[in-house]
Amino acid sequence: MSYLFSIVLIVVLALVIGLSLYTLFIAKRVELGMPPEGRFITVMGNRIHYIEQGSGDQTILLIHGLSGVAQHFGYSVMGQLARHYRVVAIDRPGSGYSVRPGRASASLAVQADVVAGVIDALNLGKPMLVGHSLGGAVSLATALRHPDKVSRLALIAPLTHLPERPSEAFAALNIRHPWLRKLVGWTLAIPLSVRRSDQVLDIVFGPEDVPHDFAVRGGGYLSMRPSHFIAASTDMHALEDILPAMQQRYDDLKLPIGILYGRDDRILEPQEQGQAMADRVPGVELEMIEGGHMLPITQPDITAGFIERQMRRGGHQA
């Protein structure tokens, strides 16, 4: 019996080591092929990667969603906005090339404080926050915790209320224990992501097509690293700790808010998220268009136009 156990243990260890080496190989290959495009600052112990374009007195800060990266705004959204404004896109802590300290919290409150720190560190004044998906929840948290640092919100397919269950696209992230996240992140996550990428992307982008260059231009390959998987899983499970409490404070929001949603979003329910927010907070402007969840990539012109309209809405707030 002990001999059989030893054989099984050796096989399991060999499998774990093999998967870890494969994961390391993929991660290093991605990083060599897609080095950071921007610069770095340190905020609250987080090494934040950011991309900046444009100039001017008015500023816009772009915040991506769950398992996303700053390059999601690279399908002309950032370039169009940079013609008139100073525009900064960040990788949220742990995402892309931003590094979150090992024991740091992923709560929306902490992420909001990091965003406020970025605003101060880069001298952005009082920018408009543009949040996509989970980035919408981070933007709302920042406006609630630091109202003196935000002039307005333009939210694209935002997470505003805690869903009953996460999208099927994020099922692999549903790991509660940190030690298990790390084990899966360094063994099974990347091989399974390679195998299931078409299925997952169909949910995330559908009913619209995935751009043929998304893996590179949109930063899709950057998710093929264990650090990114671990951060995304941590982000998802941190939501239930604070988002319900945030929902009770939405009446405190006293700034212009615009929301853009695709009617056929397969990740978040437009009525549960967008319409519920418009019904709850007076003055929220909700625009519904034909499309899915990844509007900054699939419909960059409409997205940029929406952001510019929100920037002009009611005049500039210093």
Band of residue 316 on the pLDDT scale cut at 50, 70, 90: very low
pLDDT tens for 93-135 read 999 999 999 888 999 999 999 999 999 999 999 999 999 999 9
In order of start, what are the domains of the chain with their CATH numbers?
Answer: 2-312 (3.40.50.1820)
Residue range 219-243: mean pLDDT, rounded:
90
User: What residue has token string 């001298």?
Assistant: 123
pLDDT tens for 258-278 read 999 999 999 999 999 999 999
**Max mean pLDDT range (28-37, 163-172, 198-207):** 198-207
User: What residue has token string 């892309």?
Assistant: 96
